[in-house]
Chain A
Amino acid sequence: MENNRGSKTIFEVITPYATYLGKRLISIIPVLLLISLVIFALISMMPGDPIMAMLDPEKTATMTTEERNAYVETMRAFMGYDKPPVQRYFIWLRDTFLEGEFGYSIRFNKPVNQIIGGYIARSFEVNIIGFFFAFLISIPIGITAAVKKNKLYDKTLTVLTIVGISLPSFFLALLLIMLFVVILKLLPFSGMSDPRGVIPDWKYLVLPVTVVVLTSLPSLTRYVRAAMIEVLKSDYVRTARAKGLTEKVVIYRHAFQNALIPVVTLVGMWIPALFGGSIVVERIFAYPGMGYLLSEAYNYKDRAIIQTALLFFGMLTLLGNVFIDVGYMVVDPRIREGKVK
């Protein structure tokens, strides 16, 4: 590829991608602002006074009413709730985007940016392992199904994928717990590490990862199969066969590479899930990732965390879309040439 471009330096090759990436990144800013506005409005409508929720009962019990009121007012001023909502929104925007301060968590009594990183990392750990295995398994079986279209193998797989898609993740999680924890007693029930240090940490990861693999596997397999069938119909595959190439070379060298193009879309769609985790699954396994943090934050009415987490999810979805567009440009020569020249 580089040879064809002759004297072009790497810098020159990358520039068009970078410009396109820059343009797309700028275009998500207004959308992100709109999303932040909706999130802020919704959270402001949540019932309950956040200041009352963060009062320490032991501390306030000995106070007189006046002391208590004064204390509440200072807390309110400290959290910024004494200002009107519109002003609070802009302060929040400024703190979040310009200063990287995501607010103060009343659940942990710490600034949000000190705690959120660990939760994101733990969700990422489970999901990246899960998606890795899902890809590893689904690509070969998806291709085989496409090659053996309408044969018994393909039909069985179609039925299995429909079963897999229809299985709700929380029901699947319960079934797995029943099998591996209750009946076979192989794995721990929930959590992420053993306080006594007896059970190795990886055993806690097995079930959450299995759920991620099993829930993403069916749709990924169907996707790979559909993409491959589409490619196998194309003219260049017929040409490759007509040239007398073996079936293996046709499938793996000519067809497969092109079948991967739509898979880029899937990776883009997965970006939010990759860092975000699943509320339900993480709650069942009591695995402290982003989903778990969010559901805890709801219970404690911890607005700073909810706001940050939702904005984070929204931003990931938008970045995923950008990834899809740029990814297509990188992978697909037709789009690349059209856009670049």
Chain B
Amino acid sequence: MSAITEQSKGFSKDDEVILSPTQQIIIKFKNNKLAMFGFWLFVSIVSVVVVTHFYTKFTGYDFSATHPELKNLPPSWQHPFGTDRYGRNTFVRVLEGGWISLQVGFLSTIMAVTIGVTMGAISGYFGGKIDALIMRIVEVIYSFPFLAIAYIISAIFRDRPAEFRLFVIIGILGFIRWTGLARLVRGQILSLKEQEFILAAKALGIKKRNQIMRHLIPNVMAMVVVSGTLTFANAILGEAFLSFLGLSVTEPIPTWGALLAKASSNSTSLRSFWWIWVFPGTMLFMFIMSINLIGEGLRDAIDPKAEFTTKEEKKAAKERRKAQKKAAKEGKLVSKGGAM
């Protein structure tokens, strides 16, 4: 152990490098190829979608404009994703469809995380009756079949304008998805509040609100971020489900789920006009995958028990494992503790 640390010290310019937890997480994340692939995939999809949205907004692109002469064209250079049965360019519609997903994903995740962390922190910190009450509420909300309830709520607002319905959907997704996070935060805070630093905070007479906000919540933030990526992916999936069932934002505004739904009604359109559903489906899949890859990378990165942080340490760990194997092969008894 000591030899390796000294070696890595030798590589760095300063003699003593102490990495903050955040720095460690960033380094570990950057060394994870899969996570970085997810990160760049995410960044590129988001930037293409955002650029398309503002480009079409400022050039006044009309999503409802139909061109009967360009009906159902297969992909070509002019229409990379082909055209639909009204002669509309699927390429632009697919990219614009991502804008709705992005909005729903970001806003409902922010909502779910805010409610979840607040409720979880209050519940875990105060305990007793407040805890029992909040956990009962969580149980009730958790017991609702998400899609079915979203279906009804969306049906109630069926006649409202599309913008309004979008916010209804964001509200539903945000409100239904906070329960898991609340449970997670509560569990963490229950164990954290017994630790010495909170005792110290109490002894110093720090206000309860500040104990929670400044001392407890920062300690659960890493877990919240990981769990937030999951919420984000689920929110986008949820919106896609709803728009697939025709309950989200409706025509002429495109969404991935609605674009997919068009082709699913019969096998002729499924085969003949494959470009109409394959492209939005692939975009949705890649986007969700990029988020999941990021979440997976973050989960590994925040693990404090990880064997290594920097590249040098990773190399050393590999060498060590090789040596261990070799030693085992040679029949020498290598105890686990010694090798570590």
Measured CB to CB, the residues of A under 8 A from B are 30-31, 34-35, 38, 42-43, 45-47, 158-159, 162-163, 165-168, 170-171, 173-175, 177-178, 181-183, 189, 238, 272, 276, 279-280, 283-284, 294-295, 298, 306, 309-310, 313-314, 317-318, 321
Contacts and interface: CB of A to CB of B under 8 A. Distances in A.
Interface in B126-175: 136, 139-140, 142-145, 147-149, 151-153, 155-156, 158-159
A260 to B, nearest CB: 23
A31 B156 contact: no
A251 B113 CA distance: 39
Given A168-B237, A294-B148, 17 more contacts: A31-B140, A47-B159, A162-B293, A165-B292, A170-B244, A170-B264, A171-B260, A174-B263, A174-B264, A174-B277, A189-B266, A280-B244, A306-B152, A310-B152, A313-B144, A313-B148, A321-B143
Interface string B49-82: 0000000000000000000000000000000000
A168 B240 contact: yes
B262 to A, nearest CB: 11
B192 interface: no
B151 A171 contact: no
B285 A171 contact: yes
**Chain B interface, DSSP helix/strand/loop, else mixed:** helix
Interface in B26-49: 34
**Chain A interface, DSSP helix/strand/loop, else mixed:** helix
A162 B147 contact: no
A45 B158 CA distance: 12
B284 interface: yes
B260 A46 contact: no
A31 B289 contact: no
Contacts of B142: 317
A298 B54 CA distance: 36
A162 B241 contact: no
A168 B285 contact: yes
Interface stretch (B1-9, B17-25, B215-223, B267-275): B267-275
Contacts of B281: 168, 171, 174-175
A298 B264 contact: no
Contacts of B296: 158, 162
